[in-house]
Amino acid sequence: MRNTIPTPVELNKGRIKFGTLLIRPLRPSAVCTFPRYQVGDSEYSYGKFDSKSQALSFCRQLYEERLDEPINASSTQI
- Enumerate the domain spans of the chain: 8-66
Residue 49 is predicted with a pLDDT of 94
In three-state form (DSSP H/G/I as H, E/B as E, the rest C), the secondary structure along the chain is CCCCCCCCEECHHHCEEECCEEEEEECCCCCCCCCEEEEECCCCEEEEECCHHHHHHHHHHHHHHHHHCCCCHHHHCC
Residue 5 is predicted with a pLDDT of 81
Residue 1 is predicted with a pLDDT of 45
- Residue with the bigger pLDDT between 51 and 31: it is 51
Enter the DSSP assignment of 20: T
First to last CA, the chain: 20
Asked if residue 64 has pLDDT above 60, the reply is: yes
Q: Considering the entire predicted model, what is its pTM?
A: 0.74
